[in-house]
Amino acid sequence: MKRWNDVMVKKLRRKFVLTATLSLLLILIGIIGFINVANYIQVQSGADDILRMLVENNGTFPDMRGKPPVQDEDPQRQETGSFEIKGERDPFFGDQMNYNRRMELPFQSRYFWVKLNNSGSPMEVDTGHIAAVSSEQAVSFAKELFFEQKAKRGYVDRHYRYLINKNEDGSYLIVFVDCSNGFYNAYLLLLRTLLIGLVALIAMLILVFLFSGKAVEPVVESLEKQKRFITDAGHELKTPLAVISANMDVIELEAGSSEWTKSTKNQIKRMNELIKNMLTLSRMEEENIHLVFSDINISKATEETTSFFKAIADFKKINYTIDLEEDIHINGDKNAYGQLCTLLIDNAMKYTAEEGNVDVHLSSDKKMRNAILEVSNTCEKMPEGKLDRLFDRFYRADNSRSRESGGYGIGLSVARAIATSHGGTIEAMADGDKILRFVVKLPLIKEVKKAN
């Protein structure tokens, strides 16, 4: 019980931590992406505003001074240093800050411009407001844009934002604004936000892992109660079923066998099988079942099990194919392995229609050190969704077919528990639209060198 609980807790905690971490990761990606995209757009928008201003004023800034903010005439408010400007007020940054920004904009902007005639020859060049670009480079940029008929607005040399304006006299004014400082700050912001996001993600991962044990405690407790209930209920049901079975025997001795007694005894048999499988599954998951591991030849064990179903295959007119590699050995419990084979073949027989196919194949993979048991059958309708759900307790892909065949949806759960208890795996695969295949992989027994 303790080991099973530990495994369940680890699985639940891992899923809880993974879900919480992925959720935070998506949120951080959204926030970081929005901040950096908005910042990039703001840098580009600011450059476009400057370009538009320069183009409208023939390559120069207009008079940016305007009216300075004046101090309030109220003496009490003058002492606080508050400013007031007539007209529209800036509710976010304040009038004084807005005024200072407007005044310093021409001195902070790095730009240059070139005027070309209608044939592309330079008429006038101004590089006095930038140090990194010479007049020759400016003319080269302008000619490249003119002769290659670039878009009216865009970038040249990666960080120079340009705007082409055609004047009334047929000449062209091409203005360039250096955005390198804005892009550099945007790049730093991206690195910082990514670093903050990474630190937040790691911190979240650590905190979620530390508190995940408390979060999954109610689920673990519920599962423990469910397991305990199955075990207790299974034992309690055995006694009344035994009494009912004995009563049926007495009734048949006194009144003879009838349709009703046969039906009742058949249902008792089904209930006993269900209880047996439930208890086996519960004990295996709790590791409370006594398995005797030894060197077993599963080739012979599989051959014995497959022979039991030949009569059923003949009765249902099923094409039953058996292909077993000889002398394959594993370290396991012979009875449990036999039950595993029985469950898989019985499941295939139940859900295969007349004239269908059931194939049993046993082989060994020397490279991966695995014994591979494959049981496949044709089915009229492939189960929908993930095939791994077939191993869930009481899951039935087709309820109507299950009722007809007498299945309860627990046999494959027992098969998975047996495979797991032997250190192996089991999975369901779809071969096309009509063939369902179950593949069991069990570790081969280690070879022991024989003495000469």
| Stronger pLDDT, 424 or 215, i.e. the higher one | 424
Of 173, 171, 133, 178, the closest CA to residue 152 belongs to 173
Every domain of the chain and the residues it spans: 294-443
| Averaged pLDDT for residues 192-217 | 88
Average pLDDT over residues 192-207: 92
Average pLDDT of the residues of the chain: 80
For residue range 51-68, what is the model confidence (pLDDT) as tens digits? 999 998 888 887 654 455
Tokens of residue 242, six digits = 């035994």
pLDDT on residue 214: 79
Average pLDDT score over residue span 314-340? 90
Rounded Cα distance, 271 and 265, in Å: 10
The pLDDT of residue 288 is 47
CA dihedral 191, 34, 94, 80 (to 10 degrees): -60
pTM (two decimals): 0.54
Percent of the chain with pLDDT strictly greater than 90: 35
Tens-digit pLDDT profile for residues 262-313: 888 878 877 877 777 667 666 665 554 567 788 999 999 999 999 988 988 9
Residues in the chain: 452
- Is the sign of the CA dihedral 213, 218, 219, 221 positive or negative? positive
Q: Cα(354)–Cα(337) distance, rounded to whole angstroms?
A: 28
What pLDDT, on a 0 to 100 scale, did the predictor assign at position 88? 47
Give residue 446's pLDDT. Answer: 67
Cα separation of 173 and 125, whole Å? 10
Structural contact between residues 338 and 299, judged by C-beta atoms closer than 8 angstroms: no
Three-state SS string across the chain, please? CHHHHHHHHHHHHHHHHHHHHHHHHHHHHHHHHHHHHHHHHHHHHHHHHHHHHHHHCCCCCCCCCCCCCEECCCHHHHHCCCEECCCCCCCCCCHHHHHHHHHHHHHHCCEEEEEECCCCCEEEEEEEECCCCCHHHHHHHHHHHHHCCCCCEEEECCCEEEEEEECCCCCEEEEEEECHHHHHHHHHHHHHHHHHHHHHHHHHHHHHHHHHHHHHHHHHHHHHHHHHHHHHHHHHHHHHHHHHHHHHHHHHHHHCCCHHHHHHHHHHHHHHHHHHHHHHHHHHHCCCCCCCCEEEEHHHHHHHHHHCCHHHHHHCCCEEEEEECCCCEEEECHHHHHHHHHHHHHHHHHCCCCCCEEEEEEEEECCCCEEEEEEEEECCCCCCCCHHHHHCCCCCCCHHHHHHHCCCCCHHHHHHHHHHHCCCEEEEEEECCCEEEEEEEEEECCCCCCCC
Rounded-to-integer distance, Cα 348 and Cα 373, Å:
14
Mean pLDDT (whole number) for 445-449? 58
- How far, in Å, CA of 205 to CA of 203, rounded? 5
Cα–chain center distance at 415: 28
pLDDT band at 223 (very low <50, low <70, confident <90, very high): low
- Read off the pLDDT band of 103 (50, 70, 90): confident
Pick the CATH number of 294-443 from 3.40.50.10310, 3.20.20.80, 1.20.1280.50, 3.30.565.10: 3.30.565.10
Residue 335 banded pLDDT, cuts 50, 70, 90: confident
Give the model confidence (pLDDT) of 112-169 as tens digits.
999 999 888 999 999 999 999 999 999 999 999 998 888 899 999 888 999 999 998 8
